[in-house]
Amino acid sequence: MKKFAAGLGALSLSASSAVAAQPEPWEMRFQEAATGIMEEITWFEEYTLWFIVPIVLLVMALLAWCMLRYRSSANPVPSRTSHNTLIEVLWTVGPVIVLLFLAIPSFQLLTRQYTPDEEPAMTIKATGVQWYWDYEYQDQENPLNFTSLMLQEGDRASAGKENTAEYPRLLAVDNELVVPVNTTVRVLVTASDVIHAFAMPSFGIKVDAVPGRINETWFKAEREGLYYGQCSELCGKDHAFMPIAIRVVSQDQYQTWYAAARQDLTGANRALMASIGSGKDEDKVAAAE
């Protein structure tokens, strides 16, 4: 019985992790972090709440006190006090201290976002087009480029992507961007027509794609999985139908996929999906036992 319960728990955990990297209904917080940068962003958001919440409550309390204490019926003769030195010092020094506590970690986080811990092992160019993404793996010896379009509902069966939990409507694509886990990836972002934006919430990256200009960002995914983002700059009538999908796999799976994708991208994607599916099945059997 215990093994059965443990197996159910593992299966439920596996199912939840499959959908953890996409927007959820009524989601109020960030998506689960898949990179160190996103973990730092999440920490900073929680850190700032320790300042924001007390300040909001204090201001609300002061407003309520002033409205009740100094209303015309309770205070028919208004005060003619022009200033109070102590209060003016407090409301000048207090905000300065708060801003320092916010500014220092925010500057540190901003520096981290622009400074990888190591030299990127690979470079990918992402070009925004109305309304899809072109990807180019900038390997001098074995370059690879392809287009990533939103998956149409009628193409799910032929693509082997009928599971809407893993390949959600309006977020799934025909060709995912595939990268190896625990690898620093440089992303060069540009556009061919209008301004777009390359955004991946679980990675903590969001950068504008501007025609005639190349912006640079980077990420290092620490967990395997399929992650979804979207164009985050209004770019025309199909702006809402321009998703980004990044599949993070093991080093061996990536090397096998990349070698095959240069000859047959569709076949390489199918083989990769099959290898990931067989791995999940083995994990489920092991958990059930």
Cβ atoms 138, 214 nearer than 8 A: no
Q: What are the residue boundaries of the structural domains of the chain, listed by start? A: 36-114, 122-288
Which residues are within 8 A (CB) of 24 and not within 5 positions of it... i.e. 6 or more apart?
A: none
- Strand order across the 132-137 sheet: 144-148, 132-137, 122-129, 185-191, 215-219
| Strand 215-219 relative to strand 185-191, pairing | antiparallel
Answer whether residue 188 shows pLDDT above 60.
yes
Q: Give the orientation angle of helix 85-114 with respect to helix 36-69, to 10 degrees.
A: 160
Q: Name the residue with higher pLDDT: 175 or 289.
A: 175
Q: How is 93-134 classified by DSSP, letter by letter?
A: HHHHHHHHHHHHHHHHHHHHHHS-SS--SEEEEEEEETTEEE
Q: Name the residue with higher pLDDT: 171 or 15.
A: 171
Mean pLDDT over all residues of the chain? Answer: 87
36-114, which class in CATH?
Answer: mainly alpha
CA 214 to chain CA mean position, Å: 21
Domain topology for 122-288: Immunoglobulin-like (2.60.40)
* Predicted confidence band of residue 121 (pLDDT cuts 50, 70, 90): very high
Question: Residue 93 corresponds to which tokens in the numbers above?
Answer: 């020094």
Q: Give the orientation angle of helix 251-261 with respect to helix 265-288, to 10 degrees.
A: 160
